Amino acid sequence: MNTQFESFVLLLRRYPYSAGCAIAAILFGLSAWFLSGQNEELAVAQADRAKEGEAMLSLLVGGSTQRQELAATHEIARRIEENLVVEENLAENLWYFYKLEEQTKARLPELHQLSSPPTDTSPMFKRVPYTLRATGSYEQVAAFLLALETGPRLVNITSFNFARTGANGAGLALDLSIELLGKK
């Protein structure tokens, strides 16, 4: 065995360039085999990341819609907060009803703000009750009721009563008990 090894060493010394190329080819072959194994693992990892990226892209596309919806929700919450009544601000609260009276041409001979119920347990809002009487023609009273229901203030009608008024019965009187949503 010793003689074969010696002849191999003599061959390497005689042809050093060929021996270097052979050793380099063997090393390159081993590194190519090693890298091909890692390449398969990296391809699997890249496919997983591509799936995550596509899922993230679909979320980002929907993200602008979600941001718009969030902005709209904040705007609506701000508008609701601005339109809550303050129970102590009697003049502004009554002015709201007189503004509706002016718009609809119905008359408000009676308008009273009542005390809030002490049993109101809502942590954020309070109910501010009112009683009122709206009189006028059917169109005027109906317009007043529509303006009250669709106005910026949040109104809950707790009771109502219609009655004809006037000598010929052409007028209409609407008695309402309502609650406006107010700030605590």
**20-70 pLDDT tens trace:** 888 899 999 998 888 888 888 888 889 998 888 888 877 776 667 777 888
Which is nearest to 118 in space by CA: 134, 129, 110, 130? 129
**Domain locations in the chain as residue ranges:** 2-79, 90-183
Contacts of 93 (CB under 8 A, 6+ apart): 85, 86, 87, 113, 128, 180
Domain spanning 90-183: CATH 3.40.640.10: no
Q: Is the pLDDT of residue 2 over 80?
A: no
- Alpha-carbon gap, residue 95 to 135, rounded angstroms: 17
Query: In angstroms, what CA-CA distances link 124 with 27, 74, 120?
Result: 76, 17, 10
Confidence band for 176, pLDDT divided at 50, 70 and 90: very high
pLDDT tens digits for range 126-171? 888 999 999 999 899 999 999 999 988 889 999 999 988 877 777 8
Mean pLDDT across the stretch 72-91? 87
